[in-house]
Structure 1
Amino acid sequence: MRSQLKLVGLFLMALLTIVGCSNNKHPNLVEMGKVKNIEVMEAQKSRQNGFLVIKVAVENTSSSNQNINYRFQWLDDQGFPVGNEENWKSKLIYGKQKTFINSIAPMMEATDFRIEIQEP
Protein backbone atom coordinates (compact mmCIF):
# COMPACT_ATOMS: atom_id res chain seq x y z
CA MET A 1 0.00 0.00 0.00
CA ARG A 2 2.76 2.43 0.94
CA SER A 3 4.67 1.75 -2.28
CA GLN A 4 1.48 2.35 -4.28
CA LEU A 5 1.05 5.75 -2.63
CA LYS A 6 4.66 6.63 -3.45
CA LEU A 7 4.10 5.58 -7.06
CA VAL A 8 0.93 7.69 -7.32
CA GLY A 9 2.78 10.64 -5.78
CA LEU A 10 5.66 10.32 -8.26
CA PHE A 11 3.19 10.08 -11.14
CA LEU A 12 1.39 13.25 -10.02
CA MET A 13 4.68 15.14 -9.62
CA ALA A 14 5.76 14.08 -13.12
CA LEU A 15 2.40 15.10 -14.55
CA LEU A 16 2.56 18.52 -12.89
CA THR A 17 6.10 19.01 -14.19
CA ILE A 18 5.02 18.19 -17.74
CA VAL A 19 1.99 20.47 -17.54
CA GLY A 20 4.07 23.26 -16.00
CA CYS A 21 6.72 23.02 -18.71
CA SER A 22 4.20 23.09 -21.54
CA ASN A 23 2.59 26.29 -20.26
CA ASN A 24 4.67 29.41 -20.83
CA LYS A 25 2.11 31.63 -19.06
CA HIS A 26 2.80 32.82 -15.53
CA PRO A 27 1.48 30.24 -13.02
CA ASN A 28 -0.45 32.87 -11.04
CA LEU A 29 -2.17 34.30 -14.14
CA VAL A 30 -5.73 33.48 -15.16
CA GLU A 31 -6.84 34.98 -18.47
CA MET A 32 -10.57 35.61 -18.53
CA GLY A 33 -11.06 35.21 -22.29
CA LYS A 34 -8.33 35.95 -24.82
CA VAL A 35 -6.01 38.77 -23.76
CA LYS A 36 -3.83 39.85 -26.68
CA ASN A 37 -0.34 41.33 -26.40
CA ILE A 38 -0.19 41.36 -22.60
CA GLU A 39 2.40 39.25 -20.81
CA VAL A 40 2.93 38.79 -17.10
CA MET A 41 6.70 38.87 -16.80
CA GLU A 42 7.24 38.18 -13.11
CA ALA A 43 5.59 38.42 -9.73
CA GLN A 44 7.21 39.26 -6.41
CA LYS A 45 5.74 38.37 -3.03
CA SER A 46 6.71 39.79 0.33
CA ARG A 47 5.15 40.41 3.74
CA GLN A 48 4.50 43.78 5.31
CA ASN A 49 3.09 43.90 8.85
CA GLY A 50 1.89 40.31 8.37
CA PHE A 51 0.04 41.00 5.09
CA LEU A 52 1.00 39.54 1.71
CA VAL A 53 2.28 42.23 -0.69
CA ILE A 54 2.30 41.54 -4.44
CA LYS A 55 4.13 43.31 -7.26
CA VAL A 56 3.36 41.94 -10.75
CA ALA A 57 5.33 43.09 -13.81
CA VAL A 58 3.10 43.29 -16.91
CA GLU A 59 4.24 44.11 -20.43
CA ASN A 60 2.32 45.30 -23.48
CA THR A 61 4.07 43.64 -26.43
CA SER A 62 2.17 45.63 -29.08
CA SER A 63 2.91 49.18 -30.16
CA SER A 64 -0.67 50.28 -29.37
CA ASN A 65 -1.88 51.37 -25.94
CA GLN A 66 -4.06 48.75 -24.30
CA ASN A 67 -6.52 48.79 -21.42
CA ILE A 68 -6.87 45.74 -19.22
CA ASN A 69 -9.11 44.86 -16.32
CA TYR A 70 -7.59 42.89 -13.45
CA ARG A 71 -8.30 41.66 -9.97
CA PHE A 72 -6.52 39.54 -7.40
CA GLN A 73 -7.82 36.37 -5.84
CA TRP A 74 -6.20 35.69 -2.47
CA LEU A 75 -5.36 32.11 -1.54
CA ASP A 76 -4.53 30.32 1.72
CA ASP A 77 -1.61 27.92 2.21
CA GLN A 78 -3.68 25.09 0.69
CA GLY A 79 -4.55 27.07 -2.45
CA PHE A 80 -8.16 27.83 -1.50
CA PRO A 81 -9.64 31.34 -1.91
CA VAL A 82 -9.91 33.47 1.23
CA GLY A 83 -11.84 36.68 1.71
CA ASN A 84 -14.35 38.35 -0.56
CA GLU A 85 -13.99 38.55 -4.31
CA GLU A 86 -12.31 41.81 -5.37
CA ASN A 87 -13.84 44.29 -7.79
CA TRP A 88 -12.29 44.61 -11.22
CA LYS A 89 -9.77 47.43 -11.64
CA SER A 90 -8.67 49.03 -14.90
CA LYS A 91 -5.15 49.86 -16.06
CA LEU A 92 -3.83 51.50 -19.23
CA ILE A 93 -0.57 50.02 -20.47
CA TYR A 94 1.21 52.07 -23.12
CA GLY A 95 2.53 50.39 -26.26
CA LYS A 96 5.80 48.46 -25.82
CA GLN A 97 5.83 49.40 -22.13
CA LYS A 98 6.27 47.43 -18.93
CA THR A 99 4.36 48.44 -15.82
CA PHE A 100 3.63 47.07 -12.37
CA ILE A 101 0.39 46.08 -10.69
CA ASN A 102 0.69 46.23 -6.90
CA SER A 103 -1.67 45.00 -4.23
CA ILE A 104 -1.82 44.07 -0.56
CA ALA A 105 -3.94 41.16 0.63
CA PRO A 106 -6.85 42.37 2.79
CA MET A 107 -6.37 39.54 5.32
CA MET A 108 -3.34 37.95 7.00
CA GLU A 109 -4.46 34.41 6.08
CA ALA A 110 -3.51 34.96 2.43
CA THR A 111 -0.24 33.22 1.56
CA ASP A 112 -0.53 33.21 -2.24
CA PHE A 113 -2.50 34.85 -5.02
CA ARG A 114 -3.88 34.59 -8.50
CA ILE A 115 -4.26 37.56 -10.81
CA GLU A 116 -7.16 37.52 -13.24
CA ILE A 117 -6.81 39.65 -16.37
CA GLN A 118 -9.32 40.43 -19.11
CA GLU A 119 -9.79 42.93 -21.89
CA PRO A 120 -12.51 45.50 -21.18
Structure 2
Amino acid sequence: MRPRLALAAVPAVVCAALLTPVGAAHAQQHDPATPLAVASKINLRGEAHGIAVREMRIVRKNDILTVQADLSNVGRTDRTVFYRFKWLDNLGGPVGDGEAWKQMRVLGLGQQTVKSVAPTSAAIDLRLEMNVELR
Protein backbone atom coordinates (compact mmCIF):
# COMPACT_ATOMS: atom_id res chain seq x y z
CA MET A 1 0.00 0.00 0.00
CA ARG A 2 1.43 3.35 -1.04
CA PRO A 3 1.44 6.20 1.47
CA ARG A 4 -0.70 9.19 0.56
CA LEU A 5 1.08 12.43 -0.11
CA ALA A 6 -0.46 15.34 1.72
CA LEU A 7 -1.05 18.45 -0.37
CA ALA A 8 0.95 20.51 2.14
CA ALA A 9 4.02 18.39 1.34
CA VAL A 10 3.84 19.22 -2.38
CA PRO A 11 5.97 22.25 -3.28
CA ALA A 12 4.07 25.40 -4.22
CA VAL A 13 5.63 25.35 -7.69
CA VAL A 14 4.10 21.95 -8.41
CA CYS A 15 0.69 23.10 -7.13
CA ALA A 16 0.85 26.18 -9.36
CA ALA A 17 1.71 24.00 -12.35
CA LEU A 18 -1.24 21.73 -11.62
CA LEU A 19 -3.61 24.68 -11.39
CA THR A 20 -2.41 26.41 -14.57
CA PRO A 21 -5.19 26.57 -17.17
CA VAL A 22 -4.71 24.45 -20.26
CA GLY A 23 -4.83 27.50 -22.56
CA ALA A 24 -1.93 29.13 -20.75
CA ALA A 25 0.15 25.98 -21.11
CA HIS A 26 -0.70 25.86 -24.83
CA ALA A 27 0.37 29.48 -25.28
CA GLN A 28 3.77 28.68 -23.77
CA GLN A 29 4.60 26.46 -26.76
CA HIS A 30 5.04 29.58 -28.86
CA ASP A 31 7.93 31.99 -28.96
CA PRO A 32 7.83 34.36 -25.94
CA ALA A 33 7.80 37.28 -28.41
CA THR A 34 4.37 36.13 -29.65
CA PRO A 35 1.64 38.15 -27.91
CA LEU A 36 -0.80 35.96 -25.96
CA ALA A 37 -3.77 37.30 -27.94
CA VAL A 38 -2.06 36.10 -31.13
CA ALA A 39 -0.92 32.82 -29.55
CA SER A 40 -4.55 32.02 -28.71
CA LYS A 41 -5.32 32.03 -32.47
CA ILE A 42 -2.53 29.54 -33.32
CA ASN A 43 -2.68 25.75 -33.33
CA LEU A 44 0.93 24.66 -33.51
CA ARG A 45 1.57 21.05 -34.54
CA GLY A 46 4.91 20.18 -33.01
CA GLU A 47 7.71 22.60 -32.19
CA ALA A 48 7.88 26.19 -33.47
CA HIS A 49 11.61 25.82 -34.35
CA GLY A 50 12.18 29.57 -34.12
CA ILE A 51 9.06 30.68 -36.01
CA ALA A 52 7.10 33.36 -34.15
CA VAL A 53 3.84 35.00 -35.20
CA ARG A 54 4.56 38.55 -34.10
CA GLU A 55 1.40 40.18 -35.36
CA MET A 56 -2.01 39.16 -36.69
CA ARG A 57 -4.48 41.58 -38.25
CA ILE A 58 -8.12 40.48 -38.47
CA VAL A 59 -10.59 42.75 -40.24
CA ARG A 60 -14.23 42.32 -41.25
CA LYS A 61 -14.81 43.78 -44.74
CA ASN A 62 -18.25 43.52 -46.36
CA ASP A 63 -19.27 41.11 -43.56
CA ILE A 64 -16.39 38.70 -44.39
CA LEU A 65 -13.35 38.20 -42.13
CA THR A 66 -9.89 38.67 -43.60
CA VAL A 67 -6.61 37.95 -41.85
CA GLN A 68 -2.95 38.76 -42.29
CA ALA A 69 -0.33 37.15 -40.03
CA ASP A 70 3.38 38.01 -39.89
CA LEU A 71 5.62 34.96 -39.40
CA SER A 72 9.17 35.74 -38.27
CA ASN A 73 12.11 33.37 -38.26
CA VAL A 74 14.21 34.31 -35.22
CA GLY A 75 16.89 31.77 -36.18
CA ARG A 76 19.63 32.06 -38.78
CA THR A 77 18.66 28.93 -40.75
CA ASP A 78 15.75 28.66 -43.16
CA ARG A 79 12.52 26.98 -42.04
CA THR A 80 9.72 25.37 -44.02
CA VAL A 81 6.28 26.23 -42.68
CA PHE A 82 3.14 24.31 -43.58
CA TYR A 83 0.04 26.31 -42.67
CA ARG A 84 -3.69 26.70 -43.19
CA PHE A 85 -6.46 28.77 -41.66
CA LYS A 86 -9.39 27.09 -39.94
CA TRP A 87 -12.50 29.29 -39.87
CA LEU A 88 -14.93 28.96 -36.94
CA ASP A 89 -18.59 29.92 -36.38
CA ASN A 90 -20.15 31.38 -33.22
CA LEU A 91 -20.25 27.92 -31.60
CA GLY A 92 -16.60 27.14 -32.39
CA GLY A 93 -17.47 24.73 -35.19
CA PRO A 94 -15.74 24.73 -38.56
CA VAL A 95 -17.04 26.92 -41.38
CA GLY A 96 -16.62 25.80 -44.98
CA ASP A 97 -14.77 22.77 -46.30
CA GLY A 98 -11.46 23.80 -44.79
CA GLU A 99 -8.37 25.10 -46.51
CA ALA A 100 -5.68 22.93 -48.02
CA TRP A 101 -2.23 22.99 -46.41
CA LYS A 102 0.11 25.54 -47.96
CA GLN A 103 3.92 25.43 -47.87
CA MET A 104 6.18 28.43 -47.42
CA ARG A 105 9.88 28.92 -46.77
CA VAL A 106 10.86 31.55 -44.21
CA LEU A 107 14.50 32.57 -44.60
CA GLY A 108 16.77 32.86 -41.59
CA LEU A 109 16.07 36.10 -39.68
CA GLY A 110 13.36 36.81 -42.27
CA GLN A 111 9.65 37.53 -42.17
CA GLN A 112 6.74 36.44 -44.35
CA THR A 113 3.10 37.51 -44.29
CA VAL A 114 0.31 34.99 -44.87
CA LYS A 115 -3.21 36.08 -45.83
CA SER A 116 -6.63 34.48 -46.06
CA VAL A 117 -10.32 35.32 -46.46
CA ALA A 118 -13.16 33.50 -44.68
CA PRO A 119 -15.32 31.35 -46.97
CA THR A 120 -18.62 32.84 -45.68
CA SER A 121 -19.95 35.54 -43.38
CA ALA A 122 -20.76 32.81 -40.80
CA ALA A 123 -17.07 32.76 -39.80
CA ILE A 124 -16.48 34.89 -36.71
CA ASP A 125 -13.16 33.46 -35.51
CA LEU A 126 -10.13 31.59 -36.84
CA ARG A 127 -7.14 29.46 -36.00
CA LEU A 128 -3.85 29.44 -37.87
CA GLU A 129 -2.64 25.84 -37.94
CA MET A 130 1.12 25.48 -38.45
CA ASN A 131 3.70 22.75 -38.75
CA VAL A 132 7.34 23.91 -38.87
CA GLU A 133 10.14 21.78 -40.29
CA LEU A 134 13.83 22.39 -39.86
CA ARG A 135 14.60 22.21 -43.59
Q: What band does the TM-score fall into relative to the shorter chain? A: 0.7 to 0.9
1:89 to 102, 105, 110: 102
How many residue pairs align between the two structures? Answer: 103
Aligned-pair Cα RMSD in Å: 1.6
Q: Are positions 1:52 and 2:70 aligned together?
A: no
Map residues 7-26 of structure 1 onto 2, 5 A cutoff.
19=21, 20-21=23-24, 23-24=27-28, 25=30, 26=39
Q: Which moved more, 1:109-118 or 1:80-89?
A: 80-89
Query: Taking structure 1 as the reference length, what is the TM-score of the superposition?
Result: 0.77
Say which one has the larger Rg.
2
- Which one-letter code corresponds to 1:96 in the other structure? L
Further displaced range: 67-76 or 44-53? 44-53
Report the counterpart of residue 10 of structure 2 in structure 1: none
Which residue of 38, 42, 45 maps to 1:32?
A: 45
In structure 2, what residue type is equivalent to 1:104?
A: V
What displacement does 1:65 show?
Answer: 1.4
Higher RCO structure, 1 or 2 (CA under 8 Å, sep 6+)? 1
Identity of aligned residues (%): 29
- Rounded to whole Å, the distance in 2 between the matches of 1:114 and 1:41 is 15
With normalisation by structure 2, the TM-score equals 0.69
Instruction: Mark the runs of 5 or more structure 1 residues left unpaired by the alignment.
Output: 1-17
Distance in 1 of aligned mates of 2:132 and 2:74: 15
Unpaired segments ≥5 residues, structure 2: 1-19, 31-38
C-alpha separation in 2, matches of 1:57 and 1:78: 27
Pair 1:105-2:118 in alignment = yes
Cα deviation, 1:39-75, whole Å, max 9, x if unaligned, reads 1112111012221000111110111111110001000
**Range that drifts further, 74-83 or 101-110:** 74-83
